[in-house]
Chain A
Amino acid sequence: MNLIEFSDIRKVYTIGSITIDALAGVSFEIGEHEFVAIMGPSGSGKSTLMHILGCLDTPTSGAYRLEGRDVSQLRSNDLASIRNRDIGFVFQSYNLLPQLSALENVLLPCTYSTHAISGRDERARAHELMERVGLKDRMYNRPVEMSGGEQQRVAIARALMMNPPVILADEPTGNLNSKGAREILNIMKELHTDGKTIIYVTHDDTIGAQAERVIRIQDGRVVADERN
């Protein structure tokens, strides 16, 4: 069974009398444990695609199966629960909450979980994840006290907190210098090796080249789907 199945997904925006097809019928499957790069120039629709993949937005039409379940027309509470448990987000701008410490940011998804886990277990796991991304000594720092690379590693720890099968990364190295970018990419590769499905949205060909598979988007359509 495929982890993700997109069949003829469309997203139409209407601004006044103009309609824009951000996605004009996109279909593909992603299996478990794949490392897929989604590439395309800006305005190609890859952001919209990522939002729908991440259940942050719903398609105008088409079916999106996640782990065999059609999630394209779910209600907001069910989508929230999918975002909580099944998808770990890593954003280009890190999106950490500035008022919380690194550790608290990592723990944040737990506060929205409907599964009761003991606070001690949660904290133990958060500590473990901070250690894993190499920030054992930065647990109690605020995001402003950290470099971009460090913040992004906190964001990765946060994405892993609920142990989701899918990591959805949207240009995670876009704001980083080459050293920071390399570190993030290495962590992503490790996660892939550990069995996560990685979906990596980027316009950088050198990163795309390191993925197992590249799906290219242009004008709201899949123009290429090739394995490296």
Chain B
Amino acid sequence: MDLRDSFRNATRAIFAAKMRSFLTMLGIIIGIAAVVMLMAVGNGTKQSILSRMQSSGSGNLYLTAGARSNVLMGGGGFGGGNRGGASAGAKITAEDLTYVEARVTYPIVVSPTNQTNITIKNGDTTMSGTGIFATPTYFEVENVTIANGRMISTSDIDNRTRNVVIGATVQTTLFPNESAVGQPIRINGASYKVVGVATAKGESMGSSVDTAIVLPFSVGEKSFGVVHNVIQRTTIKCVDPTQSLAVTTEITDILTRKHKKVDFSIQDVAAMTALVTSSMTILTTLLAAIGGLSLLVGGIGIMNIMLVSVTERTREIGIRKALGARERDILVQFLIESSLLSIAGGILGIAISVLGSDFIVSRFTTTSVTGSSILLAVGFSIAVGVFFGVYPARTAARMKPVDALRYE
């Protein structure tokens, strides 16, 4: 019997009992939809966490004062520098950075920053934001680009000029109708001049440049009470991101020698990324396994219906055998039928999960339906159809023709 005949027979049998076929497929539809959607939630969450981590630049290291036991402890992020397990009196100074830069053998870019909460005012409009005291390297290291105007320059630092770069949200909030570049702005009551506007970037590592104002590093100590010669957080960019581990080790050695103890910590975004990736992969696998359970139940449903179908069609099996059908022919006939049921269920399940995750689940959380999860779902539904179809099909194939023909 050729395969085309077999497929025609199978579809005929499936359509002959539409309601039953649909209910049988429903188990697979729900199972596949559950697998694909749960994986979409897992993958989506992973991707959104990773993209937030990576928008600050891969290969970045964060140097802060105070030893930490774990890379993920303390949460990182701006302003987190003195939180957590910072040991008393531990600090990173400008000399430390000069010392490190002079000795590191890998190419790096160092961006020291301090940060404080500020009130920003233009005319009658006021907003609160973050003041970031930084050097020109800040823009390169944190991937901050300028939409309008210019960056903080070296001469701004040297001369303690009151020139600032404002974030995109600050521009739209305080200067809704005009470009802020060249305009005066009041920060904590004092007057500054806007020289540039940063491109909107969204949140990164727990903070956003959009609601911040970048001021020359040297201005902080004079006007905002930032402790003299203490750097809250230093971002170190490895020019070659693959060297981040080696750079971490080297800087740790250099600073430990200088401080005679480990009273600082270096967070490696790449290492954190790897950790998040692996834990999110475990989560996604777990979610897929939960979905897989419902697929298993769906598979048992297929087996159950196929067994009923075999019993109901005993006489048909007898007739086919009387006309010369071999065991293999009957086996293939029922296997194709169960596989078609589960493949059709799988395809419907994928359609439902794609629609569902795009239009419903995505309102609550980030989702991402990946090609691999669809392939997995299709493969799994074929496997379910074959696996749970084998037993009923073999039951049918092994019937003795005389018994099958006599069946009423």
Q: Name A residues whose Cβ lies closer than 8 Å to a Cβ of B.
A: 51, 54, 56-57, 76-77, 80-81, 83-85, 89, 91, 95-97, 99, 108-109, 111-113, 158, 162
Contact = CB atoms under 8 A, between A and B. Distances in A.
A167 to B, nearest CB: 13
Interface string B313-355: 0011011111111111100000000000000000000000000
Contact of A80 (B2, B326, B402): B326
Contacts of B319: 95-97
Contacts of B2: 111
B178 interface: no
A76 B324 contact: no
Contacts of B325: 80, 112
B402 A158 contact: no
Given A57-B402, A95-B405, A112 B324 contact: yes
B402 A85 contact: no
Interface of B: 1-2, 5, 12-13, 16, 315-316, 318-329, 400-402, 405
A85 B324 contact: yes
B6 to A, nearest CB: 9
Contacts of B318: 95
Contacts of B315: 95
B400 A84 contact: no
A81 B1 CA distance: 13
Give 3 nearest A-B pairs by CB, closest first: A84-B324, A112-B324, A57-B402
A144 B326 CA distance: 27
- Chain A CB within 10 A, most for which of B316, B323, B325, B400: B323
A151 to B, nearest CB: 13
Nearest to B16: A99
B401 A109 contact: no
5 contacts: A77-B326, A77-B328, A80-B327, A85-B324, A111-B5
A107 to B, nearest CB: 9
Given A97-B320, A112-B320, 13 more contacts: A57-B401, A80-B327, A81-B326, A83-B324, A84-B323, A84-B324, A89-B323, A99-B13, A99-B16, A108-B320, A112-B1, A112-B325, A158-B323
A90 B94 CA distance: 103
Contacts of A57: 400-402
A113 B322 CA distance: 12
Nearest to B316: A97
Contacts of B405: 56, 91, 95
- Most central of A77, A89, A112 by chain B CB within 10 Å: A112
B324 A54 contact: no
A111 B1 contact: yes
Contacts of A76: 326-327
Contacts of A85: 324
Contacts of B320: 97, 108, 112
B324 A81 contact: yes
Given A56-B405, A99-B13, A89 B324 contact: no
Contacts of B402: 51, 56-57
Contact of A112 (B13, B323, B400, B401): B323
A99 B12 contact: yes
Contact of B323 (A51, A77, A83, A99): A83
A57 B318 CA distance: 12
A51 B319 CA distance: 13
Contacts of A80: 321, 324-327
Nearest to A112: B324
B12 A112 contact: no
Given A51-B402, A97-B316, A111-B1, A56 B16 contact: no
A54 B322 contact: yes
Contacts of A158: 323
A54 to B, nearest CB: 7
